Copies of this chain bind each other. A is one copy, B any other.
Amino acid sequence: MVSRHRRSVVSFAAAAAMLVLPAISARASSGPEISHFKLANGMEVVVIPDRRTPVVTHMVWYRVGAADEPPGKSGIAHFLEHLMFKGTEKNPAGRFSKVLATIGGQENAFTSSDYTGYFQRVTRDRLRMLMEFEADRMTGLKLTDEAVLPERNVVLEEQNSRVANSPSAKLGEEVQAALFLNHPYGRPVIGWRHEIEKLDRKDALDFYNRFYTPNNAILVVAGDVAADEVKALAEETYGKVAPRAEIGPRKRPQEPEQRSVRTVTFADPRVTLPSLQRSYLVPSAATAKTGESEALEVLSQILGSGTNSRLYAKLVIEKPMATSIGAWYQSSALDQTRFGVYGTPRTGITLKDLEDGIDSVIAEIAEKGVTNDELERAKIKLVADVVYAQDSQATMARWYGGALTTGLTVEHLKTWPDRVQKVTSDQVRDAAKTWLDKRRSVTGYLVKEHAKPQERRS
């Protein structure tokens, strides 16, 4: 029952990897001229010119994700993403995908806590056809129990293989649930299994009718096409879709002040190497004060990205305690987000020892800041990644879609490299001191078996 479509649940961590570098310098003369406008029905459009090859990347993003689900219906955002391939009155199930396959197109879809998106890549002459298909399923989705119930099994199987059968993913789910005491970011994007099992056709249609309306959607087109051309095509296709729901501000329950150090220990006989993963509650690009998110971005580079990072240098090379180690920052989120560190100890080193090692490395940055060399290296890396990324239509399109669905603007992305350049060593130190506070964190331990009381006492 595995679907033919390559669709994915974008976990927070995956989203971090995907969106951690959300910008292109306005000053880079080679940077594209982004167009951003609205259709009469409220649908936003972003056009990113890329004339190198006669192809286009086409994405429709909805401002809705797992954090917008009604309580008790976790997984419905992702389940609906699957069901969007079940056809409409006009285009029965499979036709859209079949046509794409015939013309050598690619397609994909993804769901995160904050957004859901649909992606295709085709030659430029097929853009109108693509838009007609996508606009059709924005309003005409037809769901029968015969289509919905087997697809629910597909999703349950996906939950099995991605989470239930992966001790590390299961621990990640528990850490996330323990980190967010009140905010729905604590909910897994794929959903809690016992709730997925009860999702039905009505749940999917209710969610679809409430959120899949043009005034809640963003079209992103990157490729060999001009903005006015996209505008004309969009008006003729998406522009014909009438809004069917009002969209208010996206208000989710926020976190109380966090003041407790938390741990989660998950034991599974399949664990061969113990490991630890910690998440801190930190500001996102959308919620941070000026410069704070950029400082966290630089901090995550210096602390835990690559073999030059502090964690790697100190705990893998200098004093070998870990076999793998790192840090990440999920900057793209509408509300408060996560900064993560993780590591796997070498044989003979306990999780506690490695954790103390990590704590010491963080404490040193929080106290003394970072060197100018580190600062410059991190900035060069971050900005270079932005420049290199212009090479990929899909990456560019995902940045803009991801930004606009998590409370940011096109302008924010354009000026991001400049703001990164301004980050100082003091700001990095302050970010570590303020935000990498264990009282705002959950540390997860993955072990083979739980310690027995008498063992722990020794």
Chain A interface (Cβ < 8 Å from any Cβ of B): 71-72, 74, 170-171, 174, 177-178, 181-182, 184, 186-187, 192-195, 251-254, 256-257, 259-267, 352-353, 355-356, 359-360, 363, 438-439, 450, 453-454, 456-457
CA distance in complex: A346, B385 (Å): 57
Whether the Cβ atoms of B71 and A253 lie closer than 8 Å is yes
User: Are A363 and B453 in contact (CB-based, < 8 A)?
Assistant: yes
Report yes or no: B263 in contact with A263, Cβ–Cβ below 8 A: yes
| Nearest-Cβ distance from residue A160 to partner chain B, whole angstroms | 13
* Contact indicator A359/B453 (Cβ below 8 Å): yes
A182 and B74 within 8 A (CB): yes
B453–A356 touching, CB < 8 Å: yes
**How far is it, in angstroms, between the C-alpha of A367 and the C-alpha of B439 when the chains are bound?**
37
Q: Are A352 and B456 in contact (CB-based, < 8 A)?
A: yes
**Copies of this chain, how many?**
2
A254 CB to closest chain B CB (Å) equals 6
Minimum CB distance partner of A447 in chain B: B261
Question: Are B252 and A72 interface neighbours, CB within 8 A?
Answer: yes
Query: Is the Cβ of A253 less than 8 Å from the Cβ of B456?
Result: no
Whether A261 touches B252, Cβ cut-off 8 Å, given contacts A181-B186, A353-B457, is: no
- B contact residues around A74 at 8 Å (CB): 182, 253
Select which of B256, B355, B359 is within 8 A of A194 by beta carbon: B256
Closest chain B residue to A355 by CB distance?
B453
Looking at the assembled complex, report how far the CB atom of A78 sits from the nearest CB atom of chain B, in whole angstroms: 16
* CB-defined contacts of A182 to chain B, threshold 8 Å: 74, 177, 187, 192, 195
Known: A181-B177, A356-B457. A266 touches B256 (CB 8 A): no
In the assembled complex, 6 residue pairs joining A and B whose CB atoms fall closer than 8 Å, in A order, are A174-B259, A177-B181, A181-B186, A194-B254, A195-B253, A355-B453
